[in-house]
Structure 1
Amino acid sequence: MFTLEIGGRPVAVLNLPTVADAEELLGDKEFRNDLTALQSEGRPLWDGQAAMSLREATADERAEFENSAADEEDDDGGFVMFLVDVADPNAPNGPDE
């Protein structure tokens, strides 16, 4: 597991087997578009300019991911867990959906 940091701030845990897989995800245009569309505290997670980096997830981050996955009733094979509150302003009912 790896942690994505944006501008030095831990933003998400990526449950991927290798750093190459995580780097590939960071290079994915759709994932980058999602990061600019999703908001935390009223601002985009990524402004398109801030540095993004990967590091090994800490033990606490791994545990948080595993607890979150265990709480999911419908396991859709998700591999990203945000460490910050995230809102989608493009959701049909506004940013809280």
Structure 2
Amino acid sequence: MTHVVTENCQACRFTDCVTVCPVACFHGDDERLYIDPEVCVDCSACISACPVGAIKEEFDLSDDEERWIEINASRAPDLPVIRSKQSPLPTAEARRSELGLN
């Protein structure tokens, strides 16, 4: 099983998760992060580090979220690795409020 970044990351891109990842499996674009399933070692450290609950274990995904497995797998290898904490997107706090997490 692997871990998956779901839609909660959209418009946030908090990078707290990358600071606890032992293998640098996170990749990012201008809107969000993705996990490379070929690199992820399933340690689960990133799940509790995410301030918007965007990361889930593959077997914990709802039917609606299962599409994120393929999205992460296909997008991650084509994007740069994110190895250190970065500033979240300017829309991150509004998105966290929208998700009811403030």
TM-score by length of 1: 0.32
Query: Which has the larger Rg?
Result: 1
Whose relative contact order is higher, 1 or 2, with alpha carbons under 8 Å and at least 6 apart?
A: 2
Question: Going by fraction, where is helix more abundant, 1 or 2?
Answer: 2
Question: Going by fraction, where is strand more abundant, 1 or 2?
Answer: 1
